Chains A and B, each alone.
Chain A
């Protein structure tokens, strides 16, 4: 049962585990990225047809994958990039002010 859909779900769960347990800001951002990647893998695998090609019409006989998930996930990847960049910018700002990235220590300050 190793296919994109199952692995996507597992990757999302790994991300959720990291988000819930890690107390370092950089690791939290990484967990967020992992969650995002898992969903992207899951979504693309849904539209994948085994042995299919990209949906470019040259001859209509060949097998094609669903192009919509790919187009949609391209948007999601770009959004994920923007959010990660912003999160890292905030992390730099927090480190400059408090000299720590540990959320337990940040809570005390």
Chain B
């Protein structure tokens, strides 16, 4: 299987177009089957390369047989492997949730597969312009997904998302242009080789490149002053798309930050002021996100602000730049992707059953749907960081890493963030288990919710417990990623 890396990117893309052709086949649920195959086959290919990558190796594939400085190369190393595995896992979970909902037809699965193919491509590629192209593939697919149901507010949110994200990518393209002018190459490894020399001669231009990239990735991952698109888009998008946005698309910005900052500026800028900048912006993001989540009355908006807050925790881990900090950061990326995807599933089920968006109208709904409220409780405990769930382990790593740096101010804010997280989730849980009788919305016909939606939330709730009890299984995948970042 010498062609495995490119097949991982191309098979979901091929499946995206095949889903439209299922119209002509007399097959029930043809689009769903094609979508599932389009994710399971790359997953199998990825796992077949897994043994070598976990041992610390990497698999390189040159497109068209042209070696790296000239041609585009795809590389699967520890970091790409970890992210690609996460993308395909969450992708399958989203398909599982969407199975029971009939408005999600061929077009939806096609766009979902294009988006996933974009993420896989940008995770595997080592060519910086190719990364930009995959960013745009992902972005265009996700704008349409957000406005999928043609709800007016969703279209408005999608437009806001488009303007902010496109501005981010134009700035990223400008940074690529400057780097190409300086180094004469678009390959990440050969740029990284020359960047130290340029930094010695002319540090200002490296500052410029760094700040352009910081803004563009900051918009994508929802870092503090650039987070404004997140709440509206996450709350207006259809439920599985909210999970895709929060679980995977926010993580794309973090991946780009990890990959490019550590490769290009790892030995120069990150050791000095830039690491501190990421760290303190992360602190502001986590406290501000948590404070804003505390005052929200819309369930999906609360979850969106919670996403911003959790991204803050990851940024603190990245900003510390130590091995333990990165371990915590990467682990929290995984945990947040898993938990927040499932929390959005729970919110989607609850809202489609009762027709209310506001938390204050959800008093006592545990009598109506005990299963979903129970898994919502488990998942929110996991994201707060209550042992023995998985959020506890990753937050513990980040706290330990901060303690090792003796940065007590940041520790105070981290604890504040954790307590605020507990406060806003307990408020929701308290409303759910309120002794008052649930007031039905008059003349509301609940949409039918099938077994698949419930199943997807239960699966994640069980996974949270298992990962919390046996964190070593995930850490085994994180270790090679850290080896890539800190050689």
Interface, chain A (partner B; CB < 8 A): 12, 15-16, 19, 25, 28, 32, 35-36, 39, 42-43, 46, 68-69, 72, 75-76, 79, 82-83, 86-87, 90-91, 93-94, 97-98, 106
Contact between chains at B173 and A28 (CB < 8 Å): no
Q: What are 23 inter-chain pairs, A to B, with CB distance below 8 A?
A: A19-B163, A32-B166, A32-B170, A35-B170, A36-B170, A36-B173, A39-B170, A39-B174, A39-B177, A46-B177, A69-B180, A72-B129, A79-B133, A82-B136, A83-B139, A86-B144, A87-B162, A87-B166, A90-B147, A90-B158, A90-B162, A94-B156, A97-B152
Among B133, B136, B152, B177, contact of A42 (Cβ-Cβ < 8 Å): B177
Binding site for A on B (CB under 8 A): 129, 132-133, 136, 139-140, 143-144, 147, 150, 152, 155-156, 158-159, 162-163, 166-167, 170, 173-174, 176-177, 180-181, 186
Residues of B within 8 A of A97 (CB): 152, 155
CA A97 to CA B152, docked complex, whole Å:
6
Residues of chain A within 8 A (CB-CB) of B170 are 12, 15, 32, 35-36, 39
CB within 8 A of B143: which of A19, A75, A86? A86
CA distance A38 to B170 in the complex (A): 9
Of A15, A76, A97, chain B has the most CB atoms within 10 Å of the CB of A76
Query: Are A82 and B181 in touch, CB under 8 angstroms?
Result: no
How many angstroms between the C-alpha atoms of A87 and B186 in the bound complex? Answer: 29
Given contacts A15-B170, A69-B177, A83-B162, 17 further A-B contacts (CB under 8 A): A16-B167, A35-B170, A36-B173, A39-B170, A39-B174, A42-B174, A42-B177, A75-B129, A83-B140, A86-B144, A86-B162, A87-B163, A90-B147, A94-B152, A94-B155, A94-B156, A94-B159
For A87, list chain B residues within 8 Å (CB). 159, 162-163, 166
Residues of B within 8 A of A90 (CB): 143, 147, 155, 158-159, 162
Nearest Cβ distance between residue A101 and chain B, in whole angstroms?
Answer: 11
Inter-chain CA distance A69–B184, complex, in Å, is 10
Q: Please indicate the chain A residues that have their CB under 8 angstroms from the CB of B173 in the complex.
A: 36, 39, 43, 76
Q: How far is the CA of A32 from the CA of B170 in the complex (A)?
A: 8
The answer to whether B150 and A93 have CB atoms under 8 Å apart is yes
Kindly provide the distance from the CB of A90 to the nearest chain B CB, expressed in whole angstroms: 5
In the complex, how many angstroms separate the beta carbon of A69 from the nearest chain B beta carbon? 7
Q: How far is the CB of A52 from chain B (nearest CB, A)?
A: 15
Contact B155 A93 (CB under 8 A): yes
In the assembled complex, the Cα of A98 lies from the Cα of B152 at a distance in Å of 8
Inter-chain contacts of A19 with B (CB < 8 A): 163, 167
Name the residue of chain B whose CB is nearest to the CB of A83: B166
A97 to B136, CA, bound (A): 27
Docked complex Cα distance between A15 and B174 (Å): 13
**Nearest CB of chain A from residue B464's CB, rounded to whole Å:** 37
Min CB distance B299 to A, Å, is 22
How many angstroms between the C-alpha atoms of A68 and B129 in the bound complex? 11
State A15–B171 Cα separation when bound (angstroms).
11
Nearest Cβ in chain B — how far from A32, in angstroms? 5
In the bound complex, CA of A19 to CA of B160 (Å): 12
Across chains A and B, which 9 residue pairs bring their CB atoms closest together, nearest first? Answer: A97-B152, A43-B177, A46-B181, A35-B170, A90-B159, A79-B136, A93-B155, A39-B173, A39-B174
Determine the chain A residues whose CB is within 8 A of the CB of B129 once the complex forms.
72, 75
Residues on the B chain within 8 Å of A32, using CB: 163, 166-167, 170
In the complex, which residue of chain A has the Cβ closest to the Cβ of B132?
A: A76
Given contacts A19-B163, A90-B155, contact A12 B136 (CB under 8 A): no
Q: Give, as a whole number of angstroms, the nearest-CB distance from A31 to chain B.
A: 9
Cβ-defined contact, B140 with A86, below 8 A: yes
- Which residues in B have their C-beta under 8 angstroms from that of A35? 167, 170
Q: Which residue of B lies closest to A34 (CB)?
A: B170
Q: Which residues of A contact B180 (CB under 8 A)?
A: 43, 46, 68-69
Chain A: minimal CB distance from B150 (Å): 7
A93 to B159 CA separation, bound complex (whole angstroms): 10
Chain B, residue nearest A106 (CB)? B156
Out of A42, A83, A93, which one reaches B147, CB within 8 Å?
A93
With CB as the reference atom, state the residue of chain B lying closest to A36: B170
Assuming the contacts A87-B159, A90-B162, A93-B150, asked whether A12 and B140 have C-beta atoms less than 8 A apart, the reply is: no
Chain B nearest CB: distance from A41 CB in Å?
Answer: 10
Of all chain B residues, which has the CB nearest A12?
Answer: B174
A39 vs B173: C-alpha distance when bound (angstroms): 7
CB-CB nearest in chain A for B152: A97
For the complex, what is the distance from the CA of A82 to the CA of B114, rounded to whole Å? 15
Chain B residue with the shortest CB-CB distance to A69: B180
Q: Which residues of B contact A106 (CB under 8 A)?
A: 156
Residues of B within 8 A of A83 (CB): 136, 139-140, 162, 166
Give Cα A98–Cα B139 distance, bound, in whole angstroms.
25
Chain B: CB-nearest residue to A79: B136
